[in-house]
Amino acid sequence: MSTTKKIAGAALAAALGVTTLSACGGDAEDKTAGGSDAPKSKTVTLVSHDSFNVTEAVLKEFEQQSGYTVKVLKAGDAGAALNQEILTKGSPRGDVFFGVDNTLLSRALDNGIFTPYEAKGLAEVKPEFQLDKEHRVTPIDSGDICVNYDKAYFADKKIAPPQTLDDLVKPEYKNLLVTENAATSSPGLGFLLATVGKYGDEGWKDYWSKLKDNGVEVVDGWEQAYNERFSGSAGGKKAKGDRPLVVSYASSPPVEVLYAEPQPAEAPTGVATGTCFRQTEFAGLLKGAKNEEGGKALVDFLISKKFQEDMPLQMFVNPVTKDASLPELFTKHGVVVDKPENVAPETIAANREQWVKAWTSLVVK
């Protein structure tokens, strides 16, 4: 399952015909041969899910200041990328792994793929994102999976858009919601976890029974849900989607504005802030990294103010540091989710498979 990432902004940009920048340095490298006189590697490799992105000038500044060349190895969605690192534990493909989120964190930590490292600048990271006290991973970004709504639809029907999970099972929203499969999609899983966080280990099943009775539609992934079935997105309009409610991200409305021509004064979509689950993504120094010092410098860079402020318009996620400011596009067209649902990573790790299996039996079959 892909994250964050993530966020659907990258996929949305692609759906609208926009090419995003792929961050990748050169391949030249002085390999350390193992003796004390051996030259240090000048290349540091970041293994990531496919949605990692950074402005070229920001990356080049880090390379010039640090003396390292950054090589980015994009390895599919977050789940697949993590699986590869677990399989190659001790002989990693790179020096740093970016993209494990709080739904997969315990799996990564239990498999011991990271070397503890307390990053420089960690004091600037907000405490609520620091989930690993042993510093095996460092928080890099956060984003909220939320129900989005088509503003025009609800205005035309003179119906108030839903704001909470409880609202979604009301008769006025029957046959309006499309969500992703929790077994095959990161936002689908996040939405399931939002209901677990809200209603508890028993109550979430009853909630999904009501949601199914109220006509929720389930599709395989975000692309199909947002760009084909959702009536409020640019892609959905072209595809004649007829569902005015979709599980997406809190960052989706700013992205709709960013890539529209001409840009509208107001985002065409809104966010039901009482339906959200918060994802946090982490990076960690891989155990057995060939360039450990370069890896440490790269982790430091990922929580630097320069990278944190570049990140929102590159990966459509929120910074986690106290000193980073959001771009105007986010502050004008985005929303603040004050009380997202959260489930502890260890609870997710212990129950994820059985939750997804139960959800599949209840909703899909």
H helices of the chain, where? 8-15, 56-66, 78-87, 105-110, 151-157, 186-213, 222-224, 234-238, 252-258, 292-302, 305-310, 312-315, 328-333, 345-359
Q: In a 3-state reduction of DSSP, which class is residue 287?
A: coil
Q: Give the model's pLDDT for residue 79.
A: 77
pLDDT at 9 (0 to 100): 53
pLDDT at site 80? 79
Same domain, 316 and 238: no
Q: Is residue 220 part of a domain?
A: yes
Any domain includes 34: no
Asked if residue 30 belongs to a domain, the reply is no
Residue 7 pLDDT more than 90?
no
Rounded to an integer, the average pLDDT of 255-276 is: 94
Could you tell me if residue 23 is inside a domain? no
Residues 341 and 329 in one domain: no
- The pLDDT-based confidence of 55 (bands split at 50, 70, 90) is very high
Residue 24: how many CA atoms within 13 Å on its side-chain side? 11
- In this structure, of 6-10, 71-75, 193-197, 347-351, the range with the lowest mean pLDDT score is 6-10
Share of the chain above pLDDT 70, in %: 89
Residues 257 and 294 in one domain: no
Mean pLDDT for all residues in the chain? 89
Same domain, 107 and 248: no
Residues 109, 66: one domain? yes
Residue 26 CB partners (closer than 8 Å, separation 6+):
43, 69, 71
Confidence (pLDDT) at 115: 97
Span 195-213, average pLDDT: 96
Mean pLDDT of 131-159: 96
- What is the number of domains present in the chain? 2
Domain that holds residue 185: 144-278+337-364
For residue 39, the model assigns a pLDDT of 57
pLDDT at 1: 37
pLDDT at 41: 76
Residue 12 lies in a domain: no
Asked if residue 350 and residue 228 are part of one domain, the reply reads: yes
At residue 54, the pLDDT reads 95
Of 31-35, 273-277, 303-307, least confident by mean pLDDT is 31-35
Q: Which residue has the tokens 């609870």?
A: 347
Residue 32 in this model has a pLDDT that exceeds 50:
no
Domain membership of residue 9 (yes or no) is: no
Predicted pLDDT of residue 35: 43
| Domain presence at residue 29 | no
Give the residue among 178, 292, 309, 168 at the shortest CA–CA distance from 233: 178
How confident is the model at residue 19, as a pLDDT? 33
Would the pLDDT of 20 be above 60? no
- Percentage of the chain lying above the pLDDT 90 cut: 76
Residues 98 and 112 in one domain: yes
303-322 pLDDT, tens digit per residue, is 999 999 999 999 989 999 99
Average pLDDT estimate for 51-71 = 95
Looking at per-residue pLDDT, the higher value among 8 and 92 belongs to 92
Which of these ranges, 146-155, 227-236, 342-351, has the smallest mean pLDDT?
Answer: 342-351
For the domain that residue 119 is a member of, what is the CATH number? 3.40.190.10
- Structure confidence by residue, pLDDT tens digits, 93-102: 999 999 998 9
Structural domain contains residue 11: no
- At 87 the pLDDT is 93
Query: Quick one: 119 and 212 in the same domain?
Result: no
